[in-house]
Structure 1
């Protein structure tokens, strides 16, 4: 999943606004059909001769076309930063009870205009809600399990430590996936928000 899957590629968008097919754009520009297809599928900024030719066909200055690509890149970077902040703010749970829900929720709420930030932010927060519910249940039953199975050894601290360590591992794994632009993270069937 790319960071801007809901946005048409720039070249495709301009081409369709002008009413050209890919083949017509290739003929008018003198570029190969394969080049047009590659530009549209990759959404990479054209350079040099390709930029000049497409700008002429689109009846715009090359700088205007470049600016469109730079705005998209800036939006992608902003979205990626917001998602990373949501994920990293989870670590606050170590010192602040429910910080793993409160801080990501605030960051998500402020940046949810972006469809991708909204979707991934929801997934991250939903996972944290589920994590808190499960950890709370384990902490509640651990004294009873301790008496029943571990001859009165207090396991509540072990449960807490393992639960916290698990959540830190999830944050680190999610951060590594986000760094690789892999947005297929924390897809759980249960959704609270």
Structure 2
């Protein structure tokens, strides 16, 4: 049963015992809506909820605890997905965010790496798009806060620095050394 997700395991065990969702929720002393969310895969039971469900289903907590798969290929994909900023604005945040949300509880290391990537990329986006916005407003109002060539140079410099950080992190993941995302606002905790 270890190949099934935790939600599928709980649903299978509940049905094997002939329990309805209401009966299991009542026996485990948890909210019915919580059990429905768990079985739908919308949430993962932890702590006391997991212990109570395991007790009622007569299984060990460890058998219900999800084991995360080792997948360095996905870690590399998650990291390289930030290069999407070269294709469309905010792609460096949107693409990694979608990948992170879908796999954060399934692949070992994705939770931490995804947070660091997103924090770095959000910080980078605030700097680049903020600087660009201020410069464009200055151009439209006739007051040059920054020379337009300075803006273009700054944006290209930041783009190449971002690419360098992404590629450096890629090679560090390949070598098993971790990542290079040490800086950035801690927006996602």
TM-score by length of 1: 0.53
Q: Name the structure 1 match of 2:40.
A: none
Q: Does 1:98 align with 2:90?
A: yes
Which residue in 2 is equivalent to 1:120?
113
Indicate the residue corresponding to 1:170 in structure 2: 165
Find the partner of 1:108 among 100, 121, 127: 100
Which residue in the other structure is 1:88 paired with?
Answer: 80
Structure 1 residues 93 and 153 mapped into 2: Cα distance closer, same or farther (>3 Å)? closer
Runs of 4+ in 1 over 6 A off after TM superposition: none
Query: What pairs with 1:11-50 in structure 2 (closer than 5 Å)?
Result: none
Partner Cα separation in structure 2 for residue 177 and residue 75 of structure 1? 19
Residue in 2 that maps onto 1:191 = 186
RMSD: 2.7
- Residue 138 of structure 1 pairs with residue 131 of structure 2: yes
Offset at residue 154 of structure 1 (A): 3.2
Q: Could you tell me whether the CA contact under 8 Å between 1:135 and 1:163 is conserved in 2?
A: yes
The structure 2 residue matched to 1:75, chosen from 61, 69, 75, is 69
- 1:168–1:75 Cα change, 3 Å: same
Q: Which has the higher helix share?
A: 1
Q: Is the 8 A contact 2:82 2:95 kept in 1?
A: yes
How many angstroms apart in 1 are the aligned matches of 2:97 and 2:165? 17
Q: What SS does the corresponding residue of 1:154 show, helix, strand or coil?
A: helix
Three-state SS of the structure 2 residue aligned to 1:75 is coil
- Structure 2's unaligned 5+ residue stretches are 1-66
Alignment deviations for residues 63-86 of structure 1 (CA, whole Å, 9 cap, x no partner):
xxxxxxxxx9x932x2x1121111
Larger radius of gyration: 1
Give the Cα separation in 1 of the matches to 2:148 and 2:116.
36
Which residue does 2:175 correspond to in 1? Answer: 180
Larger RCO (alpha carbons 8 Å, 6+ apart)? 1
C-alpha deviation, 1:167, in angstroms: 1.0
The 8 Å contact of residues 135 and 160 in structure 1, kept in 2 or not, is answered as: yes
Q: Report the number of matched residues.
A: 117
CA contact (8 A) 2:100 2:111 kept: yes
